[in-house]
Amino acid sequence: MAGIERWWDDLTRDRFSAVLELVLNAISDDYENLEIILKTINQWYRGEPELRGWKALEAVPVSRSEVVKALRELTQEGFAQACSYDAETKQFLPASFLQDNAGVLWYYVTDKGMAAVNRLLKRGSEIS
């Protein structure tokens, strides 16, 4: 039954890759919190005609836990930065990602993350 296990692993890995792509794109143009990321992916992306054919959308809907897992991975690998918002100075300040406070942080792509987004956009335009 090793073949079935491999198939399941590939399916899971493919879905997680799609979720990573969706989350990275969702945070690529502005600071976003967890709720906005979820809404962007599960509601707004579906209605965008220019996104039709984007393979990553096959993963929609995504769960809160999938997005948190993706944010953890993206921040650990340097594609995204977690931030806290300081209301007094009205600035986003770099923060460490902790799963327990994922819902109160804000996220934005790093230069490395933006390079990845640009590669994804280029790949998508070649496919369409």
How do residues 74-111 score in pLDDT, each as one tens digit? 999 999 999 999 999 999 999 999 999 999 999 999 99
Whether the bond between 49 and the residue before it is cis, its omega within 30 degrees of 0, is no
Q: Across all residues in the chain, what is the average pLDDT?
A: 87
In the chain the beta strands, taken as DSSP E runs, fall at 32-33, 80-86, 91-94, 106-109
Go through 18-43 and write b for each residue having 16 or more CB atoms within 10 A of its CB, e for each that does not: bbbbbbbbbbbeeebbbebbbebbee
Q: Rounded to an integer, what is the distance from CA 16 to the centroid of its chain?
A: 10
pLDDT in the model for residue 45: 79
Cβ-Cβ contacts under 8 Å for 67 (sequence gap 6 or more): 19, 23, 34, 37, 38, 41
pLDDT in the model for residue 11: 52
pLDDT in the model for residue 66: 97
pLDDT in the model for residue 127: 38
pLDDT at 4 over 90: no
Confidence band of 55 (pLDDT split at 50, 70, 90): confident
Q: How far apart are CA 118 and CA 114, in angstroms?
A: 6
Q: How far apart are CA 128 and CA 88, in angstroms?
A: 45
Confidence band of 52 (pLDDT split at 50, 70, 90): confident
pLDDT in the model for residue 5: 52
pLDDT at 53 over 50: yes
pLDDT at 121 over 50: yes
